[in-house]
Amino acid sequence: MPPVVKSLLLLNIAAFIIDSLFHITTTLNLGLWYWGSGMFMPHQLITYMFMHGGFTHIFFNMFALWMFGRIMEQVWGGSRFLLYYLVCGIGAGLVQEFGQALGIIAPYAMTIGASGAVYGILLAFGMTFPEERLFIIPIPFPIKAKWFVCMYAAIEIFEGISGADGVAHFAHLGGMLFGLLLILYWRNAAQRKTIHFGQNFWQKQESTTTMHVHYNDNYTKDYEYNSRKREHADEIDRILDKVRTGGYQSLTESEKQTLFDESKR
């Protein structure tokens, strides 16, 4: 198990045990209160993620963190994964606060749980491995990860609008929203970096070359580019097939690096 996911699991379990022993003290200080309640403190935007309302609540959150988080940490690396987790969790808390300020969510309610961050991880998995097939109980057939994420988002929107079940549905959506924005930012930054590198490379080549350009050079470059692009796509498909059959651990270090580079595009 990668170190960040392991640490998050241990921290959540430890917080749950402590909260079970000193429930009133820890909940009042570490749960996320509405900013207008007089109980709000800035640190609660982080600490509320480690508080849970019962065994079922923490079990399903930690199971999803273990199942999907360990894969994303292996793809992204520990530092990027931890940043993503915290951004999703804090973003979920901010959306919950904003919803209460607008009156969409019952005011003065306290929010606890890692669900906002976990929903962000589900989104990241669906965007990184959109064609991966998952078996979800009680659905009797496999469903692709991208449709799995869309289904969960639709359920949260419906429940958030129509229900009053005490679940922070809009916080879940907030975690997914902030996760989406961060992933898009990373991908755009990687694309800009690639374009900038390519421009500098070709400028350097043009300034140092003494060869004459023939009329068919552009055609040759286009053909070679398309050929490399097809080979790269075939390699990614092969690696994903290997993940499906043997799991992420079956990949070599070079295959993991290739998959990591592809996830940043």
Q: Map out the domains of the chain with their CATH numbers.
A: 3-183 (1.20.1540.10), 216-265 (no CATH)
**β 143-144/133-134 pair status:** antiparallel
Q: Check residue 103 and give left, alpha or beta (phi > 0: left; psi -120 to 50: alpha).
A: left
Confidence check: pLDDT of 252 > 90: no
Q: Which of 33-42, 104-113, 169-178 is the least confident region? A: 104-113
- Report the C-alpha gap between 12 and 14 in whole angstroms: 5
Q: What is the mean pLDDT of residues 239-251?
A: 70
Nearest to 97 by CA among 50, 151, 34, 148: 34
Tell me what the pLDDT averaged over the chain comes to.
82
| Reported confidence tier of residue 169, pLDDT bands at 50, 70, 90 | confident
| Phi and psi at residue 112, to the nearest 5° | -140, 155
DSSP notation for 24-40: HHHHHHHSB--GGGS--
- Report the C-alpha gap between 151 and 4 in whole angstroms: 28
Give the model confidence (pLDDT) of 79-128 as tens digits: 999 999 999 999 999 999 998 888 877 766 789 999 999 999 999 999 99
> What's this model's pTM, rounded to 2 decimal places?
0.72
- Report the C-alpha gap between 10 and 1 in whole angstroms: 12
pLDDT score for 108: 66
DSSP notation for 134-160: E--TT-SS-EEHHHHHHHHHHHHHHHH
3-state helix, strand, coil in the chain (%, to 5): 75, 0, 20
Q: What percent of the chain has pLDDT over 70?
A: 79
| Phi and psi at residue 215, to the nearest 5° | -65, -25
| Reported confidence tier of residue 211, pLDDT bands at 50, 70, 90 | very low
pLDDT score for 195: 66
| Reported confidence tier of residue 226, pLDDT bands at 50, 70, 90 | low
- Report the C-alpha gap between 216 and 54 in whole angstroms: 69
The token pair at 245 is 């059959």
Q: DSSP E strands: which ranges in 51-181?
A: 133-134, 143-144
- Report the C-alpha gap between 146 and 127 in whole angstroms: 7
Do residues 187 and 265 make contact, with C-beta atoms less than 8 angstroms apart?
yes
pLDDT score for 39: 86
Q: DSSP E strands: which ranges in the chain?
A: 133-134, 143-144
